[in-house]
Amino acid sequence: MGRLNRFIRRLIALRREQPGEDLMTALVRAEEAGDRLSEDELVSMVFLLLFAGHETTVNLIASGVQALLAHPEQLALLREKPELIDTAIEELLRFINPVGTVAPRFVREDMEIAGVRVPRGTTLTLLLASANLDEAAFPNADRLDITRDPNRHVSFGLGAHFCLGAPLARLEARVALPALLRRFPGLRLWVPASKLHLRSNLGLRGLHDLPLAV
């Protein structure tokens, strides 16, 4: 991690001296009301882009494959009707929840949520995974249904905090999942499902590994 930190700082310095047509140059040049990002802020931003933009999509694809294999009727339906890929991706996002929770929120004024008084200054942790499995919002929420429409999941957040990388994540899954299913018609788990384990990270939810046979 230290090596990556040093590399990013060298890249920041390089792009300040030699601008290019890339994201780092855009971040270095970003300005609001005459204020630019400090070096530490730039490093934090790049780390966020690297990890939020990579690990979450990896988890979506791997856990998405695992979920489809665990629901063979849904996998068969997607093979039969590949045009369902878009609704399938939205349902996988809801069902597997690649991001379980997000950064804490701080209550700015006294309020009441679902009958519970929440005083000003309280720290709240929002569980996206819980919201996506809420029976009040999703009929048969514990069932994978690749035809579910509408599907108002909150896997990418909501409002001002909606994930900027959502279109890229959807695009990558839209490319990867159909390619896997076309290339490997006999795709199956190499180990019993009981041997698969999620990493112990409530924020970024993903499998330790996904051994497959083709």
Pairwise CA distance, residues 117 & 45, whole Å: 35
Q: How confident is the model at residue 31 (pLDDT cuts 50, 70, 90)?
A: low
Q: With contact defined as beta carbons under 8 Å apart, do 204 and 97 qualify?
A: no
Report pTM.
0.80
User: Using CA atoms in the order 205, 44, 8, 50, what is the torsion angle rounded to 10 degrees?
Assistant: 30
Asked if residues 61 and 177 have their Cβ atoms less than 8 Å apart, the reply is: yes
pLDDT tier for residue 81 given thresholds of 50, 70 and 90 = very high
Domains in the chain (CATH in brackets) are 2-28+37-98+144-213 (1.10.630.10)
Q: At what angle do helices 2-17 and 39-70 cross, to 10 degrees?
A: 120
Place 195 in a pLDDT band, splitting at 50, 70 and 90: very high
Q: What's the pLDDT at 32?
A: 60
Q: What is the mean pLDDT of residues 66-76?
A: 98
pLDDT at residue 56 in the model: 86
Angle between helices 166-183 and 85-96 (to 10 degrees): 110
Q: What is the mean pLDDT of the chain?
A: 91
Neighbours of 103 (CB within 10 A): 8
User: 124: exposed, middle or buried (C-beta count within 10 Å: 0-12, 13-18, 19+)?
Assistant: exposed
H-run or E-run covering 118: strand 116-118
pLDDT band at 30 (very low <50, low <70, confident <90, very high): confident
Place of tokens 């730039």: 42
**What number is the average pLDDT over the span 39-43?**
91
Element (H, E) at 85: helix 85-96
Instruction: Decide if 152 contacts 145 (C-beta within 8 A).
Output: no
**Using 50, 70 and 90 to split pLDDT, how confident is the model at 204?**
confident
Q: Which of 23-32, 93-102, 142-151 has the lowest mean pLDDT?
A: 23-32
- Pseudo-torsion of CA 198, 201, 64, 96, nearest 10°? 100
Q: What is the pLDDT of residues 157-181, one digit of tens each?
A: 888 878 878 888 899 999 999 999 9
pLDDT by residue (tens digit) across 117-152? Answer: 999 999 998 899 999 999 999 999 999 999 999 999
